[in-house]
Amino acid sequence: MSGFSAFSARSYRFIALDVETANSDCASICQIGLAGVGFDGSIATWVCYVDPRDYFSSFNTRLHGISAETVAGAATFAPLLHRLSPLLSQVTLVQHSNFDRGAIHAACRSNRIDAPDWSWIDSVRVARAAWPEFKGAGGHGLGHLKTQLNLQFNHHDAGEDARAAAMVVLKAEALTGRSFTELAAPASRKKTGAALQS
């Protein structure tokens, strides 16, 4: 939890959250990264390892470089969530796809604790609204957005991926002139002509 007090002392418009997992079970969170976007557009990041009390698959370790040795002595999920919740319950959280929220909820079930009632938006939805031309032409994953938007980050590090999701949102806002909440809102369904007839 090194540095979290300083991170949590700041005020944020939103916080992007990303997790890495030890294996194919999304409950096996082994790293959490946060990227807080201030009201001046600045981005502060915080990242920590988590001991998932689970095995590390060779595939996942090759992907993110985290192993059982890396997380030795790190906090386990339940006390870490207890420490993070007061901050994260006060802001909108950004995730790039729904994986991160699902992983938090799965880890809560695994630890037999209640899932937090946090407010989430998906930066994939934000990116789709800002860059519809990427659909079918590389898509809206962080790997493709990194190239197209000239983002500088190390993929598959929770802190770096959280910062990248935050940058995607900021670039989308700058491009469209719309807030992240507007961009993330579901498209309104158009009424059919028949429905409009009286």
Q: How is the chain split into domains, by residue range?
A: 4-186
Task: Tell me how far apart the alpha carbons of residues 124 and 130 are, in angstroms, rounded to a whole number.
Answer: 10
Q: How far apart are the first and last CA of the chain?
A: 62
The tokens describing 191, both together, are: 């009424």
User: Which residues pair with residue 29 across a beta bridge?
Assistant: 21
- 152 Cβ contact partners less than 8 Å away, ≥ 6 residues apart: none
What pTM was computed for the model?
A: 0.89
The pLDDT, as a whole number, for residue 140 is 85
pLDDT tens for the chain, 198 residues long, are 668 999 999 999 999 999 999 999 999 999 999 999 999 999 999 999 999 999 999 999 999 999 999 999 999 999 999 999 999 999 999 999 899 999 999 999 999 999 999 999 999 999 999 999 888 877 888 788 887 888 777 777 999 999 999 999 999 999 999 999 999 887 654 444 444 443
CATH fold of 4-186, please? Answer: Nucleotidyltransferase; domain 5 (3.30.420)
The pLDDT, as a whole number, for residue 154 is 73
